[in-house]
Structure formats: C-alpha cells, structure tokens
Structure 1
Amino acid sequence: MFKRYRRRWQLAKVKPGDGSTLQEYRIWQLFSRSLFVLELPHHSGSSHVFEVDVRHMADSTTKKSPAALYRDGVQVYRANLPVAFPVPGGVIEVATSQYGLKRMHYVTEDGGEHTLRPHPRSQEGLRARFDHRFPRTSAFIGAAAIAILLTGLAVSLSLAVEGLTRIPVIAQHTGTFTSPIHLPQWAKIALPVAGAIAATERALRLRKTWLVGG
C-alpha cells in the first residue's frame, strides 16, 4: 500500500514539458548532469526513444527542472525529484541521494524493473564502460567500496555508543562503554573522505544499498 501511495505522489509531481529539444551532452557537464536512455516499442511497430535528463545542480528555484523526460528528443514532462514519469507499459522512477543517482529504473505494469542505459560520456556511462572492459577490477573496486562503508559504519556506531553511555542517567543503568577503535588524526580525516568516494562509486553503479541511504 505504501508503494502505491508513493507512486501516486510521484506521478502527481509530473508537469507538462515545454517542448524544447534535448541538448547535447557536453564533457564539462560530467559532474552536473546525468542522461539515460530507454527504447520502447510502439503499437504501430516502430519504437520511441525516451531520455531522462537529470540536472544535479537544479532545484525548484532554477530555470531548468531537476529532471525532464524527452521522447524522440522533445521534452514531454518535467518534475522535481523524486518522480515517476509515465511511459508506455509502466513508469520511469528517478531519485537521487546526496551522492548521486539512486534510482533510474523502468518499472513495468507487472512489477518488472530494468535500469536505463546511461549516456556513454556521463559519469555513469564511463563507470559502466570500465565495468565492461575490466570486470575483475571493477568487482574489486565495488567490494572495496562496500568494505569502506562498513568500516565507517562500525566506527560511527562504536563512537556513538561510547558517547551515549557517558550520559550520567544512562551510565547508571548500563555502565560506560569505551570504544575499542581509536583512530589517529589522519584516519579521522581520511575515513569520511574515503566513505564519500565509496558512496559515490555505489551511486554511479545505481547499486541500491542501505549503507548510503538508497
């Protein structure tokens, strides 16, 4: 039931597009724009090309909408995120996190899900190409990213419990806990940075994980 209400809310956010044509993806937009493609068959026997253009620096106050849907190069819908764009046979769900995209999926009416294809020059496209050319190295990077995120979580939880048990009222009932993890100053700086990079790597692969709120 929650998914149904969420879908209705996301569909209600969709506004008509302005009919403008899709701008070409430029290399200097690498960190500010994501572009994904989906081809869907038409009942006439032909097919339509749907493209989702996400502007990471845009919001409700900017001229460009955070997300726009183009059909055969023409803008048909625009919306704030998260959103579900209606397309033949289902919807395209789009959502972001603080580290990038976490949702770019075509969800069919029967519940099937398919990830859209990223533009080859976008961050997501470059990461997908690297995964295709160097699958073993890509898998190692993915595993390392997860390990870094788990390490950061363990450190954060340990320090949080230590701080909590130092509160007098709680300490009277549970005693105090001293974290066994003691990081040098350089590690206290390096770990959050590494965690942000790891979370971004997961986002570039659109890997859904609770570790990064996705």
Structure 2
Amino acid sequence: MSPRLRPLRRHEILTRSVYAAPLPEPGGPGAMWTVEVDQARDWDARLYRDGEQVARAEMPASLPVPGVAAAEHALTRRRHRVVDAETIWTAL
C-alpha cells in the first residue's frame, strides 16, 4: 500500500507546499492529482493521485502525469492551466 497524502496543517505553511489539480481521464471520471514538497523533511517532490502516492523524485523533479504535457520547468506556487486539458506546473 502506498503512502497517503497528509492534510496540510497550519504550522506547516512555511515549510510544506501542496498543489492540487483535478484532471479529466479518458473513459471515466477525472482524478485529483497533487504535488507535495516538504522542505522540513527533505526536498523530494511526491506525486499523489486521489491521495495515494504514485511517484517520488528529488528536486528539481519531473513527475509523470498521464495526459499532461511534459514541461521543462520546476514547481512554483502557481499553476497554469491550458485550455486543451494539459496542465503544467512551473517553479522558480
């Protein structure tokens, strides 16, 4: 069983980042995809699908999300949503 996404607590807002986006999936309902970076624990980026961890990578990270275009950017505090169902996370 893969690790579950922990809720973001108030005392973690300066050391932990959580970004989420609902993405449609062909042939069924969409899924909530979430990227988490916990600077207090380590600098690894973790990717979750509906709260279940599916990937982990050292920063700067490139995480695979089905149906999403690959971007040569890192994670930031903002999310860009492209109209043709491709979401790109970028970072400073």
User: TM-score by structure 2 length?
Assistant: 0.73
Structure with more of its chain in helix, by fraction = 1
CA distance in 2, matches of 1:52, 1:44: 24
Cα 1:29–1:55 change in 2 (3 A) is same
Aligned to 2:33: 50
Q: Secondary structure at the match of 1:79?
A: strand
Shift of 1:36: 0.3
AA partner of residue 69 (structure 1) = L
**Alpha-carbon distance in 1 for matches of 2:54, 2:60:** 17
Please name the residue that 2:59 is paired with.
Answer: 81
Compute the RMSD of aligned alpha carbons: 3.3
Distance change (3 Å), C-alpha of 1:68 and 1:106: farther
TM-score by length of 1: 0.35
2:11 aligned with 1:33 = no
Structure 1 gap segments, 5+ residues each? 1-17, 60-64, 96-100, 117-205, 207-213
1:53-202 to structure 2, matched below 5 A, reads 53-59=36-42, 66-90=44-68, 91=70, 95=74, 102=76, 114=88
Which one has a larger percent strand, Structure 1 or Structure 2? Answer: 2
Aligned amino acid, residue 24 of structure 1: P
Query: Does structure 2 conserve the Cα–Cα contact (< 8 Å) formed by 1:94 and 1:103?
Result: no
Check conservation: 1:92, 1:107, Cα contact below 8 A: no
Provide the C-alpha distance between the structure 2 equivalents of 1:20 and 1:53, rounded to a whole number of angstroms: 12
Measure, in 2, the Cα distance between the counterparts of 1:74 and 1:47: 15
